[in-house]
Amino acid sequence: MTNDALINALSHLISEDRNPDTMDIDMLPSLDIVQRLNQQDKLVPLAVEKVLPEIALAVDRITQAFQVGGRLVYMGAGTSGRLGILDASECPPTFGVSDNMVIGLIAGGKDAILKAKEGAEDLPEMGEQDLLKIGFTDRDILVGIAASGRTPYVIGGLEYAHEVGATTIALSCNPDSPIADIANIAICPVVGPEALTGSTRLKSGTAQKLVLNMLTTASMIRLGKSYQNLMVDVKATNAKLVARATRIVMQATDCHQQQAQDTLKKTDYDVKLTILMLLTGLGKEAAKEKLNLQHGYLRKAVIDQAGKTDNN
Catalytic residue positions?
Answer: 90, 121
| Whether residues 232 and 249 fall in one domain | yes
H or E, element range at 230: strand 230-231
* CA–CA–CA angle 34, 39, 44 (5° rounding): 120
Residue 1 maps to a domain: no
Same domain, 133 and 193: yes
State which of 192, 222, 252 marks the end of a domain.
222
Please indicate, yes or no, whether residues 255 and 129 belong to a single structural domain of this protein.
no
Do 208 and 242 lie in one domain? The reply is: no
Question: Which residues neighbour 11 within 8 Å (Cβ) at sequence distance 6 or greater?
Answer: none
Is the CA virtual torsion 42, 45, 48, 49 positive or negative? negative
Q: CA–CA separation, 78 vs 95, rounded Å?
A: 26
Q: Which CA distances in Å does 166 have to 61, 69, 150, 161, 162?
A: 10, 13, 20, 5, 6
Please indicate, yes or no, whether residues 218 and 269 belong to a single structural domain of this protein.
no
pTM score: 0.91
Q: In this structure, are 193 and 46 located in the same domain? A: yes
Q: Are residues 48 and 109 in the same domain?
A: yes
- Measured between alpha carbons, how far is 99 from 227 in angstroms, rounded to an integer? 22
Spatial separation of the C-alpha atoms in residues 273 and 263, rounded to whole Å: 9
Q: Which of 172, 195, 222 is the last residue of a domain?
A: 222
Residue 2: inside a domain: no
**3-class secondary structure, 200:** coil
Number of domains in the chain: 2
Instruction: Please give the Cα distance from 110 to 104 (Å, whole number).
Output: 10
187 and 242 share one domain: no
Pair (134, 165) in one structural domain: yes
pLDDT (tens, 9 = 90+) of the chain, 312 residues, equals 556 555 555 556 787 899 999 999 999 999 999 999 999 999 999 999 999 999 999 999 999 999 999 999 999 999 999 999 999 999 999 999 999 999 999 999 998 898 877 677 888 999 999 999 999 999 999 999 999 999 999 999 999 999 999 999 999 999 999 999 999 999 999 999 999 998 999 999 999 999 999 999 999 999 999 999 999 998 888 999 999 999 999 999 999 999 999 999 999 999 999 999 999 999 999 999 999 999 999 999 999 888 876 655
Listed residues 173, 200, 222: the one ending a domain: 222
Residue range(s) defining the domain that contains residue 103: 7-222
Residues in CB range of 205: below 8 A, 6 or more apart? 79, 80, 83, 147
Angle at 170 between CA 165 and CA 173, to 5 degrees: 170
Same domain, residue pair 299 and 194: no
- Asked if 11 and 119 sit in the same domain, the reply is yes
